Structure 1
Amino acid sequence: MLSRAARAFAVSLAVTFALSSVAACGSDGSGSTASGDDKAPLEIWVRKPPGSNTEKTHQKLAADFTAATGVPAHVTALFDDFETKLQQAAAQKKLPDLIVNDTAQLGTLVKQGLVRQVDKGRVAGGDQLIPQAWDAARAADGKYYGVPFSAQTFALLVRKDWREKLGLAQPTSWDQLDALASAFTSGDPDGNGKADTYGYVVPGSTKRGYLDWYASSFLWSAGGDYFTGEPGSLKPAIAGERSVAAVERLKKQFCTDRSVVPGAVTAETTQAHPLFETGKGGIYLTGPYNMARFDKSLGKDKYEVVPLPAGPGGKSAVLAEGENVYLMAGSKNPNGQQRYAEYLAGPQGQRTGMAGDTDGTVVRLPVNRTVDLAAERTDARWQVFDKVYREAGRYAPAVPEWTPFRQASSETLNAVVADCGSDPEAALDKLASTFAAELKKQGAGS
């Protein structure tokens, strides 16, 4: 009987061979598709909970597409272990025709040969898409392997009732933001006579790279960066002067101002959300998807949405994320694949995907610039996020595999803020060496 290690190796080997076989029959690598059956049914996988209203929105999108084109389209909603099930499908040579999944999965999908290249210039309506949305579909080799579908970015959720009780204005600079966080920590904004409130809610865990995910917007807005140079010849910039200044400011919030909610160094987002809605912290950099939750648990009138102020360099660059439509290798209907992706990114697909002000939204922020968000949603707070995305949204760096960098950065930042005697400059110098080795390993560095 095979050992667990032997079985794991066998599965890995089978997947590797399957991926090579599947990829070979789907595309010639240039972005042009092989001939196929233009009426063959399309199987679409979406990363949504089965039975949810978001699944129902995707089902409507598929039905509308079929009604308009005559091409059958079937949606399967998967949430838990989505990537594992995709690997299993590849091993069985039964990949879906398309998947709608996170932009962060691009590098992995390309590396594994699961997706085929997209010729951006041949995507109908592609010129209507917001330029930075296309950035999320471009891999480290400069080629495109998906069509943008949905975007999201982050803004500050601030306890409006606390701020007004203390007689303070909305922050328009980092100094004002830190001052507001300190006031929330020391000024008893909830009026209960106890020192039990804080400024910042921070998901500072190293799990899944959470602290780097949170800190990236501050790093960029401070003028710092992860890398410098062109794709293929990148060099670490994480130990640069402005990067160090951004991390020193983060450490000050934890160690000097003590304006961060206790326990942040081990908090994932699932632990961070309750800290905001139960009145432990009053400032939370997060996405628009949390508004529906906090409206119910905290009250819509208790908090406000405020853009992250520009950093010391006068700019604001905020992490952008979202979903792409990925055209999987080996489809029997490559033309149908592209038509479906074009439909989802087109004006009608975007409007349907937005689902108004309901919880069925699968398009958080439209990637098509012809779609007026204000005409689709009455909640004006979405417009704050939309403006941030269009003016300051920035995606994670395009490297073959971003995860190792995010994880290493998160572990370094966590160690710095968890130890108030730490040396940020020395820690980032060490991280830069780790980055250099990983860039070389991935063939992305000079």
Structure 2
Amino acid sequence: MKPVRKRIPLAVLAIGALALTSCSDGGGSEEPLESLDIMAPFFSAVPPEEDDPIDKALSDLAGLDLSVQWVPNSDYGAKTNTVLAGDDIPDVMVIQGKDQAFVQTAEAGGFWDLTDYLASGDYPNLVTENPEVQEASSVNGKVYGVYRARDVIRHSVIIRQDWLDNLGLALPETTDDLYEIARAFTEDDPDGNGRNDTYGMINPAWGGIGNGSPYDAIEVWHGSGNLWSEEGGELVPAFTTPEWTQALQYERDLVQNGYVNPDFATMDPATWNEPFLNGKGGIIIDVQSRASELAKLFKE
């Protein structure tokens, strides 16, 4: 397995320009906020209700009315682009990546430049201690949001140890090893129930490339760039490289041989844990925090 290139996580809260303060007539003093509109993704099947007790408690703590627009995570990217293309940007919104729409909006003055505020030392709890994260989340050296902490370890291979033990298999060290485990988890009855009712890898519906999907991880393992590759001092789209094609063949074989859940094209990401917990699939490629989440669910 080729080493995975480290990608600095980028997920920031972008704050709409001039949305948080307004000037009184001539005095230059700031008027207190009475409400705050927030747009954020949710990862469960059902979003929080309007009268959710946590939202109410946060509103009481902040001393103003917090109105949160919850958007399914699977639709959040498209919703973000739609919102940024309009003229009604929420006061605060989660930005999940440095996409073109976000960069253009920031450069056009659509977000509040927080660079000097964060550098002042007055807000230590809002400043990351990792300068690489600060740099990655900036646009032309300017910071437009408060970072959202993520795992330093991003893509991880999470595997059911009991299935490995049942089949006498070791943890994978190469992509070929991982493929063989996916095959064995599908064909060799890893749960020992005598039925053909398991598969190897669990992949939810995930459109596009370069957005942190399991497929992106596999492509980088094969030597492809993360969206872009450098060839002869020039940047080229990663999907034009032989390494990307090799990874795509690997992924195609997994799917065609049935080593991936059959509903991979439509599976709701909010239900990603269920096949792993219920003994249907045995491999998940996702962020490291999902491993601890699954371990907690198994204990429960």
TM-score tier by shorter-chain length is: 0.5 to 0.7
Give the gaps of 5 or more residues in structure 2. 1-15, 20-26, 43-47
Are 1:40 and 2:41 matched, yes or no? no
Once the two structures are TM-superposed, the CA of residue 199 in structure 1 deviates from its matched residue by 0.8
Q: Structure 1, residues 151-198: CA drift from partner, whole Å, max 9, x if none?
A: 243423322221111122222332222222122112211111112211
SS in 2 for 1:202: coil
SS in 1 for 2:254: helix
2:217 corresponds to? 217
Equivalent pair of 1:203/1:214 in contact (CA under 8 Å): no
Equivalent pair of 1:110/1:145 in contact (CA under 8 Å): no
Taking structure 1 as reference, are residues 127 and 80 closer, same or farther at Cα in structure 2, changes over 3 Å only? closer
Taking structure 1 as reference, are residues 129 and 39 closer, same or farther at Cα in structure 2, changes over 3 Å only? farther
Mapping 1:59-208, distance limit 5 Å: 59=58, 63=61, 75-80=66-71, 87=83, 91=87, 95-96=90-91, 99-104=92-97, 107-112=100-105, 113=108, 114-119=110-115, 122=119, 124=121, 125=124, 128-139=128-139, 141=140, 143-152=142-151, 153-204=154-205, 206=207
Taking structure 1 as reference, are residues 172 and 40 closer, same or farther at Cα in structure 2, changes over 3 Å only? same
Answer 1 or 2: which has greater helix percent: 1
Mapping 1:291-370, distance limit 5 Å: 292=293, 295-296=296-297, 299-300=298-299
Equivalent pair of 1:103/1:136 in contact (CA under 8 Å): no
Taking structure 1 as reference, are residues 278 and 216 closer, same or farther at Cα in structure 2, changes over 3 Å only? same
C-alpha separation between the residues in 2 aligned to 1:218 and 1:277?
Answer: 23
Q: Which amino acid aligns with 1:202?
A: N
Once the two structures are TM-superposed, the CA of residue 107 in structure 1 deviates from its matched residue by 4.1
Q: Structure 1, residues 68-118: CA drift from partner, whole Å, max 9, x if none?
A: xxxx6653332148858x959x746x852xx25132376434434531333
* Alpha-carbon RMSD: 4.1
Once the two structures are TM-superposed, the CA of residue 242 in structure 1 deviates from its matched residue by 1.9
Q: Percent identity?
A: 21
Taking structure 1 as reference, are residues 52 and 107 closer, same or farther at Cα in structure 2, changes over 3 Å only? farther
Equivalent pair of 1:199/1:259 in contact (CA under 8 Å): yes
Once the two structures are TM-superposed, the CA of residue 283 in structure 1 deviates from its matched residue by 0.4
Taking structure 1 as reference, are residues 203 and 128 closer, same or farther at Cα in structure 2, changes over 3 Å only? closer
Once the two structures are TM-superposed, the CA of residue 54 in structure 1 deviates from its matched residue by 6.2
Q: Which amino acid aligns with 2:95?
A: D
Equivalent pair of 1:204/1:264 in contact (CA under 8 Å): yes
Equivalent pair of 1:182/1:199 in contact (CA under 8 Å): yes
Equivalent pair of 1:228/1:235 in contact (CA under 8 Å): yes
Give the gaps of 5 or more residues in structure 1. 1-21, 27-34, 67-71, 302-446
C-alpha separation between the residues in 2 aligned to 1:237 and 1:168?
Answer: 33
SS in 2 for 1:194: coil
Equivalent pair of 1:204/1:210 in contact (CA under 8 Å): no
C-alpha separation between the residues in 2 aligned to 1:95 and 1:266?
Answer: 30
C-alpha separation between the residues in 2 aligned to 1:53 and 1:245?
Answer: 50
Aligned length: 250
Once the two structures are TM-superposed, the CA of residue 38 in structure 1 deviates from its matched residue by 5.0
C-alpha separation between the residues in 1 aligned to 2:186 and 2:270?
Answer: 22
1:240 corresponds to? 241
Q: Which amino acid aligns with 1:275?
A: P
Equivalent pair of 1:136/1:148 in contact (CA under 8 Å): no
Equivalent pair of 2:198/2:280 in contact (CA under 8 Å): yes
Taking structure 1 as reference, are residues 168 and 54 closer, same or farther at Cα in structure 2, changes over 3 Å only? farther
TM-score of the superposition, structure 2-length normalised? 0.64
C-alpha separation between the residues in 1 aligned to 2:183 and 2:38?
Answer: 46
C-alpha separation between the residues in 1 aligned to 2:263 and 2:160?
Answer: 20
Mapping 1:268-279, distance limit 5 Å: 268-270=268-270, 272-279=272-279
C-alpha separation between the residues in 2 aligned to 1:239 and 1:289?
Answer: 31
Equivalent pair of 1:184/1:197 in contact (CA under 8 Å): yes
SS in 2 for 1:253: helix
Q: Which amino acid aligns with 1:276?
A: F
SS in 1 for 2:240: coil
Once the two structures are TM-superposed, the CA of residue 204 in structure 1 deviates from its matched residue by 4.6
C-alpha separation between the residues in 2 aligned to 1:130 and 1:191?
Answer: 47
SS in 2 for 1:104: coil
1:410 corresponds to? none
C-alpha separation between the residues in 2 aligned to 1:36 and 1:107?
Answer: 34
Higher relative contact order (Cα pairs below 8 Å, separated by 6+ residues)? 1
Q: Which amino acid aligns with 2:149?
A: S
SS in 2 for 1:267: coil
